[in-house]
Amino acid sequence: MGDPGLFTPNSVTWQMHGDPMMWIAGVRALYLQALHPRAVRGVIQNSDFRHDAWGRLLRTANFVGTITYGTTESAERAGARVRKIHSRLSATDPGNGEEYPVDEPELLLWVHCAEIDSYLSVMRRSGFRLTDAEADRYVREHLVSARLVGLDPDAVPADRAELAAYFEKVRPELAAGAEAREVDDFLLRPPTHPLLVPARALVWRHVAHLAYAALPPYAHELYGRTAPEPAVVDRRLRTAGHVLRAIPERLRWQLPPKHILRAMARLGPGTRPAPYKLGR
């Protein structure tokens, strides 16, 4: 058997990240991350977000796929690349003129926790079965991804209780400022080719609305839109999960960059991600 990578086929992460609902979870993470003014300012000021948001989303997905299913070397290389890019960037607070690095630990921690919370919340609410112990194990597994982006694992939440305590602590710092509104507007109406506008209306808006609906109540309050009933959101998430999971895995996994198929070729077909393996 080849190198199993940082997470290995026995991890919760390996089984969970192969699920198509991860895309909706990723969009929810963007909505949540945008509520930290200092963090989202770093994104807006250092990237052509409006015109390359698709590229940014795909690069994030590629990073997650690489560290989950790639070799140890490729995962470490991806982490080093992210740290190098972040080390060169800074942002400026328009209110007081303060310039600060985008790789401040508190900003990296916010981005990390928003992602892990989004992945875990959307997956469980959409019908991906995880026990509480497995959910805690998932959070703990991602001390590895925290290290890869430059965080001290000892300063990162290691279970759901610590994650909830972190969000309670950071909530006073959150706000839906101008940059958050820009992200919100983009996610609802992303620029696209004129021929694809109907598809954006039919497909993407449903994805964006569902991802937004899955946010925690305080996020809805900050964005200023009425929070839908949790039971209604759960039903919509389960329906979306049922539809997306009906697409054959081999078809879904053919999409570039084919991380899962490459991992199976390296480690053998028995390493195929599957939810039922978590109960073993």
Look at phi and psi of residue 264 and say left if phi exceeds 0, alpha if psi is from -120 to 50, else beta. alpha
pLDDT of residue 280: 61
Decide: 138 and 120 in contact? Cβ < 8 Å. yes
pLDDT of residue 266: 95
- Number of Cβ within 10 Å of residue 212's Cβ equals 23
Q: What is the pTM of this model?
A: 0.94
Decide: 212 and 25 in contact? Cβ < 8 Å. no
Rg (Cα) of the chain, in Å, rounded? Answer: 18
Crossing angle between the packed helical segments 178-188 and 37-46, to the nearest 10 degrees: 60
How many C-alpha atoms does 193 have within 13 Å on its Cβ side?
2
How far CA 143 is from CA of 170, 215, 246, 278, in Å, comes to: 19, 23, 32, 20
Q: State the 10-residue block means of pLDDT for the chain, 280 residues long.
A: 92 97 95 97 83 73 95 98 96 95 98 98 97 98 98 98 98 96 86 64 83 97 94 98 94 89 95 87
pLDDT of residue 66: 97
pLDDT of residue 203: 75
With residue 116 as reference, give the H or E element that holds it.
helix 105-125
